[in-house]
Chain A
């Protein structure tokens, strides 16, 4: 949408080095650590989740190295259990959930809404500190010997039988959950209460719809896992037998309370990526997103339906067959909005003018991998086949296709798409395209064999497996090393480009959007003049620029 800014055409702005931007306005460490500027908090989050992503990635490499050989000879059994638990906790609670909302969301929500800052800037900074405090707790649990319950903390193993530092990890996840609540709350109030004049709901960019739906889930789901983890911690420390079968407790209740949050949590991870891909495909094809209202409403539909499907995690745990049928039916329904989004993206690309810049490479990769991830969910939603496939590597492959193929590819697409705006500098294009393509093939190489070995019956969380499944695991481990390279490469050239990249103008992609109408990197107060929004988003009019 173009906003009639009353400033002179931006190009006459002095280059970034000579005018105050949010980056160079103050230089002291204190100003960064106590900043109330949503753009700086975005960078603080970016650094912390990069750190946690590397810790999680390191644990993943340990797991893949161990699985090269059928016998468990690289790590001890206990060491392997702690490695995959660390991989799970770091990736889920400390990378995927905050990844897009806390970084790009923090940077873009106030700008796309036409406001100076989020509704509660101090709360925004507090949510970063709460996040870091949570991570300190989780790292302490690693230093105290690690936790070996898996990121799902299933009782009664996690509450009575495991003698590893479960309480610290559970409290770490509990505290990180609060940071997620505070971020979600901040964004919802900002989107509801601080939109610029003329910016009605249906003039909001689709990234905003995705962030809004994610915030709904964060607010409604996270408290339930918070109280569940508190109950597990109480049971471990004070022997309050909530879930202990010997004291009359019921482990199935834990599973209900845990999955009530944890399934919507996987939509917290993927919905922002869906928003990013809508933005990237629209900008890279220079076309309005096809079926804007349907794509926007499908985000909200996913957010709501995601709360009534969690039973498909418990088909084999002795759940009643009627509840199973209801959950199975609703799980199939939740697949429909994702299908609508994919078809509308294709509609957007039709007759577009498609550039092959790095964000588009990642977006195309996303389309393929997210399609596979979504469709393989159909096996696990049908009760008949889930009996065979539950808790096997088929499930591992399914959710990695959605999380890594979807959320991480979306994260990289958004990072490259808005990098010029965040830093005012360009990243090396060719290297970006190489990394994107490498990630796509490395990813498929890693996780497609896991579908096959999953159907063969290799259970999850095994560090020793029957010899006939070795071929698939070798393929997967080799693929994992390619994937590791594909992740490290962008980290290197983006860090380089942050300091030495070529300066760019304010709208390098010539895309539509409020964020492309302010200088890059933007000044602290985002907009130099009050913003009035007059038309629909993504209006690429015919006249030549």
Chain B
């Protein structure tokens, strides 16, 4: 894919009509209005962020696809855009994986484990390593 040297010197590069650019500009203006409108509605909890990011994502894709001419670009350029975003997602997912994983605070009470985090792990048989002598019961917290 690197070797399709153009025949001779000229660079074939088809130039998009102006209407494409103005069209995208209008789309972006609309989406900005939508961003503000969407922010006034309470979708409850974390859904607000998801919706806000989705609208911003659409705007960003429009800019990338048309303004930055990725639609005419080689597959390699498309791949590099996706790789960049993919590794950013890796950073976010694994970092938050750690933080969300922590919220399941285990309280090994009598009836087995009860997690207080948003997602309950359910009852897991009590793992009781045999201390030499079991003194009086008392809540031990992680």
Contacts and interface: CB of A to CB of B under 8 A. Distances in A.
- Contact between chain A and chain B defined by CB under 8 Å: yes
Contact of B97 (A193, A197, A253, A326): A326
B101 A322 contact: yes
A319 B97 CA distance: 10
Interface stretch (B17-25, B83-91, B127-135): B83-91
B101 A307 contact: no
Contacts of B91: 224, 257, 260
A320 B2 contact: no
A311 B98 contact: yes
Contacts of B99: 320
A323 B83 contact: no
Contacts of A193: 2
Classify the secondary structure of A's interface with B: helix
A192 interface: yes
Contact of B95 (A194, A195, A256, A326): A256
B83 A220 contact: yes
Interface string B25-68: 00000000000000000000000000000000000000000000
Counting chain A residues whose Cβ lies within 8 A of the other chain, the interface size class is 20 to 34
A311 B83 CA distance: 21
A340 to B, nearest CB: 23
Interface residues of B, number: 17
Contacts of A319: 98, 101-102
Nearest to A317: B98
Given A320-B102, A323-B98, A195 B90 contact: no
B11 interface: no
A307 B84 CA distance: 13
24 contacts: A192-B76, A194-B2, A195-B2, A220-B84, A220-B87, A252-B98, A253-B95, A256-B94, A256-B95, A257-B91, A307-B87, A307-B90, A308-B90, A311-B94, A319-B101, A319-B102, A320-B97, A320-B101, A320-B104, A322-B97, A322-B101, A323-B94, A326-B94, A327-B94
A-B pairs, 9 with minimum CB distance: A320-B101, A323-B98, A322-B101, A320-B102, A256-B95, A323-B101, A220-B87, A323-B97, A193-B2
Given A320-B100, A326-B94, 17 more contacts: A193-B2, A194-B2, A195-B2, A220-B83, A220-B84, A256-B94, A257-B91, A308-B94, A318-B102, A320-B98, A320-B99, A320-B101, A320-B102, A320-B104, A321-B101, A323-B97, A327-B94
Interface of B: 2-3, 76, 83-84, 87, 90-91, 94-95, 97-102, 104
